[in-house]
């Protein structure tokens, strides 16, 4: 499809980067740098001063490295000698490590009934405590069958008893509420004080 109107320099640059298989977030390297003069930093961190772009690229090639634009907003832009492949690999590893450290809180559900036995309740409390210590939220659901709905007060007291038993590791986000034939309550882990 042919364009009937001219495109701006930003669009031209994006098209060139896409043609070269480079995303818009990557820094420019070697011949992609279009300014005539650049401030150059050596691979050891030493300032080499302001050089002509051709001389800077030639020096980088002699060392077997790439000339990478690290600060394009500066006048003249700041470029550094580095192995761009290793640099990209290190950035990717760092991003993956950061992503791995972030814990996404999930809501786990623990179901009970008004007639749940004391020993079964103790087991469910242990599960709730473990989920909260792992950093996940817990939705306690009390299911009513048939005429069990008349025990709603006892069921609410049972939910509050569970929340009291895990109070040192949790806070109540949603207090017990009756929804149809089920009553639910949400507990979340306590935020550690710094």
Write down the pTM of the prediction.
Answer: 0.49
Question: What tokens appear for 32 in the block?
Answer: 């992609």
Work out the percent of the chain whose per-residue pLDDT is above 90: 22
Going from N- to C-terminal start, the domains of the chain cover 9-90, 107-189
Q: Where are the beta strands (DSSP E) in the chain?
A: 37-41, 47-52, 66-71, 78-82, 107-112, 137-143, 170-179, 182-189
Beta-ladder partners of 137: 107
Residue 107 — φ and ψ, nearest 5°? Answer: -105, 115
Query: 10 pLDDT band (50/70/90 cuts)?
Result: low
Which pLDDT score is estimated for 46? 85
Tell me the pLDDT tens digit for each residue of 138-160.
999 999 998 888 888 888 999 99
Would the pLDDT of 87 be above 50?
yes
pLDDT digits (tens, 9 = 90+) for 109-135: 999 998 888 899 999 999 999 999 988
H helices of 2-133, where?
A: 9-19, 53-63, 84-101, 118-133
CATH architecture of 107-189: 2-Layer Sandwich (3.30)
pLDDT at 33 over 80: yes
**Could you name the CATH architecture of 9-90?**
Roll (3.10)
């Amino acid at each position: 499809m042919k364009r009937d109107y001219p495109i701006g320099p930003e669009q031209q640059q994006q098209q060139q980067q896409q043609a070269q298989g480079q995303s818009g977030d990557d820094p420019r390297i070697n011949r992609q740098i279009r300014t005539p003069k650049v401030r150059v930093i050596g691979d050891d961190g030493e300032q080499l001063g302001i050089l002509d772009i051709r001389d800077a690229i030639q020096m980088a090639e002699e060392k077997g490295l790439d000339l990478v634009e690290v600060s394009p907003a500066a006048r003249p832009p700041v470029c550094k000698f580095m192995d761009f492949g290793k640099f990209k690999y290190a950035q990717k590893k760092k991003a993956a490590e950061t992503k791995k450290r972030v814990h996404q809180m999930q809501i786990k559900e623990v179901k009970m009934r008004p007639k749940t036995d004391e020993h079964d309740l103790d087991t469910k409390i242990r599960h709730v405590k473990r989920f909260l210590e792992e950093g996940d939220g817990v939705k306690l659901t009390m299911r009513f069958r048939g005429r069990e709905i008349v025990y709603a007060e006892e069921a609410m007291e049972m939910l509050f008893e569970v929340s009291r038993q895990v109070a040192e590791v949790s806070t109540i986000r949603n207090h017990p509420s009756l929804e149809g034939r089920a009553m639910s309550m949400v507990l979340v882990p306590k935020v550690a004080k710094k």
